[in-house]
Structure 1
């Protein structure tokens, strides 16, 4: 082996080790932020106007970010920070932290249990690592590109089903006030899946459905439109758990895609056919 090849190999190993260490520290950061949200969780937060609702959502975000952001910035000072959690599309080159400090925030305010904290490091538009913490269960889901997906250290694997007619599938609304064309597409896709799948779940947030795909509890998830923060964590988890990621038409998915489909390999093509009708 030449010195140059050995040097390159050693650098790759060092970077992988560095990313694994970074993931462990990221998991600690989302757990710390999650504990703040858990302390704020309880009764339904009443609101009479959109302004009151947005204020309550922002208060949750700010409380978690006060803990999460300085920890992540200290881990990767050179990485950019995505300020808008509902933003979509491709990122500039380099490293970026894509976070949702209160994923499923509206559920939190309504006293529902489906919420968590997510942090994903993106390198040149590819998710490198992600950590998702669910404070009410204490679970932490992690994934490292090329290193697998795990739940509290236990490997995750997507389901082995090959029959969409026996499958539990799910979809989610990307954001409030969605474009009417997207809303109509969501409705028609649910109707199509109701005819082809066993059971269809519809709820927010997307990340929790994608966790379930990675864990083999749900066989497929799709969403039209979407934000980087609610799709990147789950996309990496599903990929590393052996699932297939594409857009709804079966084309390669990127953060700039107009849809996402995450599925067990055995039902992916059938799900594409259903969603393409």
Structure 2
């Protein structure tokens, strides 16, 4: 089934509708007071955004399946179409009245991300990419930064999910190592936002241990179609289900991989 401009436009419309539903329940004054409230509001966000989203995507491509559960962190089958979606990417930010949240949708075909859409209602921003046709923000083409030295680069990492205990030491060592080499090191959630900044040239590189596919699938295509590189942390080919991811503009990416190898 062909993926064309009409497919991208249809997915963007679906994401925009879901994002509007999240915007309708957003308040910049939101401040959860305890874990129960945080979890309750986050669950509401997931339900509000999800309302009708999967049905719309299924109608668009009836044979595509949805990535859930273990498939978010393990290799996909070699063939078939899969939707990797996050109904409320950055819901923890939404819950705290912050602007960095949205709806992420990626279409994976035969283990390659072929289409990506990210909708950020705050700012009225729609990011789109189709393999071979570039990355775009509200109709303007995106290009990664052209820096050639890590020592002037803004780089970052972050948790993929809370309570990923096995990643704590890796994250800590990698940040400590990178602080000695990069101009500025950021640690932030969710994964999508630093990846959007890299695609747009505002940031230079990002790495993550134990990523979840809905958190990195769209960003991976947006970056590669903007001229960036997407690999594993050891520099190998990245594919959905890989246990690490490293992305960035070409020159900075090469230096990033080298430095992370030293700190491993």
TM-score of the two chains, using structure 1 as the length reference: 0.90
1:97 corresponds to 2:90: no
Q: Is 1:82 equivalent to 2:82 in the alignment?
A: no
> Judging changes above 3 Å, is the alpha-carbon distance between structure 1 residues 199 and 106 closer, same or farther for their aligned structure 2 residues?
same
Listed as ranges, the gaps of 5+ residues in structure 1 are 1-13
| C-alpha displacement of 1:201 | 1.0
Q: Is 1:66 the counterpart of 2:22 in the alignment? A: no
CA distance in 2, matches of 1:171, 1:151: 23
1:216 aligns with 2:201: yes
Which residues of structure 2 form unaligned runs of 5+?
none
- The residue number in structure 1 matching 2:227 is 242
Task: Tell me the CA shift for residue 81 of structure 1.
Answer: 1.4
- Taking the TM superposition and a 5 Å limit, the aligned residue runs for 1:11-30 are 15=2, 18-30=3-15
Q: What is the DSSP-based 3-state SS (H/G/I as helix, E as strand, rest coil) of the residue aligned with 2:51? A: helix
The equivalent of 2:178 in structure 1 is 193
> C-alpha displacement at 1:47, in angstroms?
4.7
Q: Determine the C-alpha separation between the residues in 1 that align with 2:241 and 2:103.
A: 23
Whole-angstrom distance in 1 between the partners of 2:82 and 2:250: 30
2: distance between equivalents of 1:85 and 1:235?
20
Query: Which residue of the partner structure matches residue 114 of structure 2?
Result: 128
Indicate whether 1:112 and 2:106 are aligned: no
Secondary structure at the residue paired with 1:276?
Answer: helix
Distance 2:226 2:147 in 1: 14
Is 2:35 the partner of 1:35?
Answer: no
- Choose the corresponding residue for 1:165, options 131, 140, 151: 151
For residues 90-145 of structure 1, the C-alpha deviation after alignment (integer angstroms, 9 at most, x for no partner) is: 22331111100100011100111111101111111111101000001101000001
Query: In the alignment, is the contact (CA less than 8 A) between 1:30 and 1:132 conserved in 2?
Result: yes
Residues 265-276 of structure 1 mapped to structure 2, 5 A cutoff = 265-276=250-261
Q: 1:85 to 1:120 in 2, by over 3 A?
A: farther
Q: How far apart, CA to CA, are the structure 2 residues paired with 1:80 and 1:190?
A: 36
- After TM superposition, where is structure 1 displaced by more than 4 Å over at least 4 residues in a row? none
Instruction: Name the CA distance, whole Å, in 2 between partners of 1:39 and 1:152.
Output: 21
- Highest Rg: 1 or 2? 1
Pick the aligned partner of 1:154 from 125, 130, 140.
140
- SS of 2:151's partner is helix
